[in-house]
A and B are shown apart, each in its own frame.
Chain A
Amino acid sequence: MTTYLIRRLFVIVVMAFIVAFVSFVLLSIAPGGPLQEVYALQSTTMRKDPDLIERTMKRYDLDIFLIPRFMRWLMGHPRGPIEIGGQKFFSDLQIGCLKEGRAQLVYPDGRVVEVDCEKPVFLKDLEGRPVSNGILMLDFGRSTQILREQPVMRLFESRIVNTLLLMGISTFLSIMIAVPIGIISAVKQYSRFDYTVTTLAFIGSGMPTLFMGIMGILIFAILFKEAGLPYLPAGTAESPRDTFIPVFGMVKAGSFFDRLWHLVLPVMILTIFNLAQWSRFIRSSMLEVLRQDYVRTARAKGLIERVVIVKHAMRNALIPFVTLLAGVLPALFGGAIITESVFNYPGMGRLFVASLTAGDYNVAIGFILISTFLVLIGYLLSDVLYTVVDPRIRLS
């Protein structure tokens, strides 16, 4: 078990590293980013400022080659020449290029070297430059567009509570409703209840969340408001000012009730979506179990039906559900990108989309790295949980 866990954790670290590196490379070669704005500024204003481009490049490490840049982002090194016993090594190692072109380098010892770079960057130039502390210290660099110069982590901190609330509540509700519904509709297969549930679940899982969200806003936010009924807000997480809702009265902006009130609609949409999928899943796994011999044996022993279903069948039927819940952990963090976007809800998913449209790549890459890590941990957790709920399975 221990060796298994160590091996899995090793694989997790390697995979998260690969995903981070690939996304980093992709986003580095993409246009946009901090320089785009500078170029735009240069083309509109009359005053040309070549210094500005170089300053921006230096500021965001854009003058450094890809690999050292990735290393500086990942672990905050190299920060300058390597010092051993007061002596500096590799200080003349070229690790970047500020301006393309050709240049002759004249070294103090008289060597002359031709390089394909007009303004090369050396390891010694990195001394004193601001650098991230590395992702191990939970420093994902600085935001370049959304919250300029602020650490990405601060952005995450401001959004993650919203996402945790939204996803936590809806996941909890979905499990609490999906399990009994799935079990009952399997036990009473082909009953009217079963037909209703399966049809609704089928429609619910086939309907895009995008459209469910829009319908929710249309009905509960707009039509209810026009009809003078107690309505739900159409989006965001807090009202900008105190609002009056019929029946409930005045709602103070930013109060507990205000936040709760804003959660209802997105939670509802996400719950319906999860419910549709999970109840189908539980139903079919329960049907599978009910056909097993040990259920027949339990019945033949004369056990009452409730015991047969709850103790013998249900416990076994929920085993595969554990695997499905592995996907919940990253979703708790990442949020539902589409739902958050429809409701303009300030959560992680919305932040991610905003970071891509704004070209704020440090935010995007931090998001990807954390979610990859959580997905992998989620799978590991589900595998371990599997051995707990099903002693027949051993990890090796």
Chain B
Amino acid sequence: MATATASVDTAVGKPVVLAKPEGQWTIVLRRFRRHRLAIVSLTVIVAIFIASLITPLIAPFPRDAVNPTLRFSLPMTPSAEPGKIHVLGTDHVGRDTFTRLLYAARITLSVAVIVATLSTLVGMAVGALAGYYRGVIDAALMRILEFMSAIPTFPILLILASVLNQDPKLLPFPDFLVNFVSAIMLIDPQKESRSVLVVIFVITLFGWTGAARLMRGMVLSVRERDFIESARSLGANNWWIILRHVVPNAFPPLIVAYTLALADGLTAEVALSFLGLGITDPTPTWGNMLNFSTQFMLTHPWAPLIPGIPVVLCSLAFNFIGDGLRDALDPRLKM
């Protein structure tokens, strides 16, 4: 888009800058700002992300510090250490809930972000290749997509997670991945990384199909357009066309899909860990915190709300942001 700025000399001699025409992203941003719920959601998400980023600084207790004399204590109970309080109480073995909630936020949100990013990237790549080259690749992809949509995904995901979690020899993860997740999630690389990686792997394995289908459709419609023809006649090769013309055009729906994938990744992790087949104690996640707190729900009814509310907040917030982005990027898509 051409940015036409003109300066005119006035009598005083100061150049006057005329109004710049709005760029595409300025319009999108303005439209997005009008979506009040999306803005609120974005604030919530940013706040939770910042809290999870500075977790080691603000967490009042060590993550796994156990105090057996202080189990199921109520919020604001003074701790055994003088001057410290358990802001949100303690759990069933006497660990500080607030501290664990912060660490869990870091783990759960990282899993959601990694899963969403990976599955969107994989889906984009596969969808673009299939849509652009057609032929055998496309036929193979469509068969795979059909197959994936025709099997009961969630039960198979559970089986895979349970099997992979039980046998470390079955799918060894390379060291750099192990170190990567343990570094960003502040977990022990030897003992805890594996179940996190298994969860990421399993959810991504079943999560990339949506993005692939979307990307393929976009590529199919874009590749027939005139500007692709002209790009090719100017000597552009396939990679250039895919990366510089097809991907940017397919971007708006993909960004919406990405936000919704964040919500899906989050709920999938929570569901897996809640069922005890995902990330297991002592590694805290919102899912397994929910698991333990619901087990003692009849005696301590309010406890599940502590990990539950952040889950709902994030899940709804991702949905609202996706909705706001959809309205902002393409008003025609508005539901």
Q: Within the complex, what minimum Cβ distance (angstroms) separates A130 from chain B?
A: 26
Instruction: Please give me the residue from chain B that is nearest to A217 by CB atom.
Output: B297
> Are the CB atoms of A356 and B277 closer together than 8 Å?
yes
Q: Are B298 and A19 in contact (CB under 8 A)?
A: no
Is A342's CB under 8 angstroms from B156's CB?
no
Complex alpha-carbon distance, A357 and B277, angstroms: 7
A interface residues, how many (CB within 8 angstroms): 45
Supposing A15-B147, A218-B305 touch, asked if A29 and B167 sit within 8 A by C-beta, the answer is yes
CA distance in complex: A27, B158 (Å): 12
- Asked if B308 lies at the interface with its beta carbon under 8 angstroms from chain A, I say yes
Q: Specify the chain B residue showing the minimal Cβ separation from A213.
A: B294
Q: Which of A171-218 contact B (CB under 8 A)?
A: 198, 202-203, 205-208, 210-211, 214-215, 217-218
User: B272-307: which have CB < 8 Å to A?
Assistant: 274-277, 290, 294, 297-298, 301-302, 304-305
Contact of B312 among A207, A330, A375 (CB under 8 A): A207
| Proximity bits, A344-357, B CB within 8 Å = 1, else 0 | 00000000110011
A214 to B276, CA, bound (A): 17
Task: Name the B residues within 8 Å of A62 (CB-CB).
Answer: none
A357 pairs with B162, CB closer than 8 A: yes
**Bound Cα distance from A32 to B151, whole angstroms:** 25
Residue-wise, chain A 8-46 has the 8 Å CB interface mask toward B (1 for contact) of 000000010001000100110111100000000000000
Q: Is the CB–CB distance between B308 and A214 below 8 Å?
A: yes
Q: Which of B159, B308, B319, B323 contacts A211 (CB 8 A)?
A: B308
Residue pairs across A and B with Cβ atoms less than 8 A apart, 21 shown, are: A19-B156, A23-B156, A26-B160, A31-B166, A32-B166, A206-B318, A207-B315, A208-B271, A208-B311, A210-B271, A214-B304, A218-B304, A218-B305, A222-B297, A284-B335, A356-B159, A356-B277, A357-B277, A367-B155, A371-B152, A375-B151
Q: Does B133 count as interface, using CB distance less than 8 angstroms?
A: no
A218–B298 Cα distance when bound, in Å, is 9
Q: How far is the CA of A26 from the CA of B170 in the complex (A)?
A: 9
CB proximity of A346 to chain B, nearest CB, Å: 16
A328 at the interface (CB under 8 A from B): no
Q: Does A60 contact B (CB under 8 A)?
A: no
A245 at interface by CB-CB < 8 Å: no
Q: Which of the 9-residue segments A64-72, A151-159, A333-341 touches chain B?
A: A333-341
Residues A206 and B316 in contact in the complex (CB < 8 Å), given A23-B156, A353-B275: yes
Chain B residues, Cβ within 8 Å of A222:
297-298, 301
B166 touches A352 (CB 8 A): no
A352 touches B155 (CB 8 A): yes
Which chain B residue shows the least CB distance to A348?
B155
Q: Give chain B's interface residue range (CB within 8 Å of chain A).
A: 35 or more
Q: How far is the CA of A42 from the CA of B261 in the complex (A)?
A: 47
B130 located at the interface, meaning its Cβ lies under 8 Å from any Cβ of chain A in the complex = no
Kindly state the separation between the CA atoms of A271 and B238 in the bound complex, as whole angstroms: 49
Whole-angstrom CA separation of A375 from B152 in the bound complex: 7
Which B positions have Cβ atoms within 8 angstroms of A? 147, 150-152, 154-156, 158-160, 162-163, 166-167, 170, 263, 267, 270-271, 274-277, 290, 294, 297-298, 301-302, 304-305, 308, 311-312, 315-316, 318-320, 323, 335
Given contacts A26-B159, A29-B167, A30-B166, contact A208 B150 (CB under 8 A): no
A321 at the interface (CB under 8 A from B): no
- Residues on the B chain within 8 Å of A334, using CB: 152, 155
| Complex Cα spacing A356 to B297, Å | 24
Cβ A368 vs Cβ B301 within 8 A = no
Find A208's partner among B277, B304, B315 (CB 8 Å cutoff).
Answer: B315
How far in angstroms is the closest Cβ of chain A from B315? 6
Q: Would you give the shortest CB distance from A286 to chain B, in whole angstroms?
A: 12
CB of A267 closer than 8 Å to a CB of B = no
Shortest CB–CB separation between residue B119 and chain A, in angstroms? Answer: 19
A280 contacts the other chain (CB 8 A): yes
Q: Which single residue of chain A is at the shortest CB-CB distance from B312?
A: A211
Since A205-B319, A341-B275 are in contact, a sample of 18 more A-B pairs with Cβ atoms closer than 8 Å, ordered by chain A residue number, is A26-B159, A26-B160, A26-B163, A29-B167, A30-B166, A30-B167, A214-B304, A214-B308, A218-B297, A218-B302, A218-B305, A222-B297, A337-B155, A337-B158, A338-B274, A352-B155, A353-B275, A357-B162
Query: In this assembly, does A309 line the interface, its C-beta being within 8 Å of a C-beta of chain B?
Result: no
CB distance from B157 to the nearest CB of A (A): 10
Chain B positions within 8 Å of A162 at CB level? none
Chain B residues with Cβ under 8 A from A337's Cβ?
A: 154-155, 158, 275
Is A357's CB under 8 angstroms from B294's CB? no
CA distance A198 to B154 in the complex (A): 27
**Identity of the chain B residue whose Cβ is nearest the Cβ of A283 in the assembled complex:** B335
Q: Is the CB of A338 within 8 A of B271?
A: yes
Q: Smallest CB-CB separation from A22: which chain B residue?
A: B156
> How far is it, in angstroms, between the C-alpha of A218 and the C-alpha of B308 when the chains are bound?
12
Q: Is A289 an interface residue (CB 8 A)?
A: no
Q: Are A214 and B294 in contact (CB under 8 A)?
A: yes
Q: B316 near A207 (CB under 8 angstroms)?
A: yes
Q: Which residues of B contact A203 (CB under 8 A)?
A: 316
Given contacts A217-B297, A364-B159, contact A353 B271 (CB under 8 A): no
The 10 closest A-B CB pairs, nearest first, are A206-B319, A30-B163, A371-B152, A222-B301, A356-B162, A206-B316, A214-B304, A208-B267, A211-B308, A211-B312
Q: Which residue of A lies closest to B304 (CB)?
A: A214
**Known A214-B290, A352-B158: A338·B308 in contact at CB below 8 Å:** no
Neighbouring B residues of A163 by C-beta, 8 Å: none
A358 to B103, CA, bound (A): 29
Inter-subunit contact B150/A15 (CB<8 Å)? yes
Chain A contacts for B335, CB-based, 8 A: 198, 280, 284
Give the shortest distance, in Å, between B277 (CB) and chain A (any CB): 6
